[in-house]
Amino acid sequence: MRKYFYELTFSVDDEENCLDAYIGIYLTRQRVEEVKSQLIRQPGFCLYPDLFIVKRKWVEVEDPSAFKPGFVLYHLSFEYETYLAEEETYLDEYYELGYFVQREEAERKKLEQERRRPFQSKNDYGAIDALRLDLNIGWPEGFDKG
């Protein structure tokens, strides 16, 4: 059965700050708003209250009754470093490949992605993060301004 949840992130890139912050995953939009209202009072976040990003996500679960606070999802993402010769610089590319209920599913998808595009540098990597619904709040103390 398909179950929906919300991913909360924060992104700022200006003269003073450059930050892409993963905050957490939450069962309801109401919980997202509670977390945002906590963080907006913290250093850094208070300067950019409109830069929170909320995305509705979904995952297939076998037992919908288990999909509650504390449920673990595995998030798979890849980051590649690409050299731009004309600008003589490196560009970081980030790809999110989704959420999985089983770590083994995420591992299989990671291997599939690695075979599809071989690593180009030692800075290329895939990451699988175990995340708990509704329980974790990233960056709870905020961040220092530039």
| DSSP per-residue codes, the chain | -EEEEEEEEEEEESSS-EEEEEEEEESSHHHHHHHHHHHTTSTTGGG-TT-EEEEEEEEE-S-GGG-STT-EEEEEEEEEEEEETTTTEEEEEEEEEEEESSHHHHHHHHHHHHHHS---STT-EEEEEEEETTT--SSTT-----
Q: What is the pLDDT of residue 50?
A: 95
Query: What local confidence, expressed as pLDDT, does residue 49 receive?
Result: 95
pLDDT on residue 40: 96
pLDDT lower than 70: segments of the chain? 90-91, 117-124, 145-146
Q: Tell me the whole-structure pTM to 2 decimals.
A: 0.83
Domain extents for the chain? 2-61+70-132
pLDDT value at position 61? 95
- pLDDT value of residue 93: 74
pLDDT at 124: 59
